[in-house]
Structure 1
Amino acid sequence: MVLRLQQTIKYVILSLFAFVSIYPVFLMIASSFKSKLEIMASPLGLPTSFSFENYVKVWNKVHFADYFLNSLYVSIISVALIVLVSSMAAFYLARYAFRWNGALLFFFMLGLMLPMKLAISPLYMMMLKLGLVNTLNALIIVYVAGHISFAVFVFFGFFRTLPKDLDQSARIDGCNDFQVYYKIVLPLMRPAIATVCIVDLIKVWNDFFYPLIFIKSSELGTIPLGMLTLFGENDTEWNLLFCGLTLSSLPMILAFLFASKQFIEGMTSGAIK
């Protein structure tokens, strides 16, 4: 009886947390189908009718397709480079012992301690001298440099859990160091890769600060900058804003749903060893 009561309390608490987490997303999607007047009159209620008129308006008014493609390009290239560079660096640090191993690992970990936004003035001057201001490449460089530390930290811990006998067996079969990395170790890294991809993808996709600093033209803007145009000086089109937020969040929701299993495995890997 006591055990059943404890289980009931646990499920009630978990259900409460799930409701608190999901309800804002549900409210955002429901509000995207409302008119502006309906949102003001009944902000927590359901829409009286379901029409995609708001989505058509926001797609045409904000040029959402251009912002979406820019965000998609920056996010995919940035995450791919982060995974590639950080996985190779972590593989070398975890599998090879050399004199400066600890110092080099500490150098990467400094990126987790020092926020890059404190160095925005030198970063801007550097991009200005390189001619990269108002280009998407500036965003890619900043995102890769800023997120490598976290990725190296995750990959390094994951590599340490893999037995080195795998490397030795592959070398006996004739594999060189790089072949050991991408033929033997890389296929086993799917949970860690999913973790890094989802975490960094969300950060890059939702970032507003760096596009605001480095991007000057509206044609190269990302989704967060595009949403800024819906905020007027005296009035805000809340129905269109909720539509834009819903459209911008759909790729992240789909990415998490497809990679959720690998993501959870990556977050909990090593917990029971």
Structure 2
Amino acid sequence: MLAKRRQSVILAEIRRNGGVRVGELSARFGVSDMTIRRDLAELARQGLALKVHGGALHADGTGGVEPGFDAKTEWEPVAKDEIAQVAARLVRPGTAIALSAGTTTRAFARHLLRVERLTVVTNSVRVSEVFAEARRPGRPGPTVVLTGGVRTPSDALVGPMAALALHDLHVDQLFLGCHGVDPEAGLTTPNLAEAETNRALIACAGRVVVLADHSKWGVVSLSSYAPLTAVDILVTDAALPADAREQARSLVGRVLVADR
């Protein structure tokens, strides 16, 4: 298993259980203790875990840490792109959609460049950059409405200005990234202001589509902003365990699994 993949699995374990032990991980992956310690050191360097004697803990024990955008880009890039491809099939030319901030929604935005006559509402600086960089003479691309607001570590624009910009808008579909997805806690984020802006995005959407890879399942962060029953479609990847898929299907309208 490649180091990045192994670290991703370790991070998901930390998020689910609050911590991991070096010895257990070494036996599970069939690698040396030193290899696991290097993995934990890398997670700690990115602010995703707290390295302790014999293992690692969740960075703050409450899901309140918000990693930077570039750090999150490193995790599950293949799964995120597969999810983005499946989600793009839900978008019809000539419609109005909204995209929240996140690394998966940025991957999704790249797959929208072939969809004609779109209007895209977003509070993501990174998503807006995807469309701006793709502009060519004679090919202006989607009409982009970028909310104002205060910029977060995930490059989301949040706060009263963002909520005001969204208040009177109506879009056909919202494509929503998230920090965590849990059957009881619902959709969660470590950023209170981002939670409020995500609620405003949900309020203006005719249909809510959540893009979340398997590592997000069971993660409970600081603030809940929507129950899973408010989700019309969940798009995830094939690494999501079967029991988690069944739980999701019992709560959301429809589950789509991206499978290469």
Given the two structures, how large is their TM-score scaled by the length of structure 2?
Answer: 0.26
More relative contact order in 1 or in 2 (CA 8 Å, sep 6+)? 1
From the CA coordinates, give the structure whose radius of gyration is larger: 1
| Higher share in strand | 2
Given the two structures, how large is their TM-score scaled by the length of structure 1?
Answer: 0.25
| Higher share in helix | 1
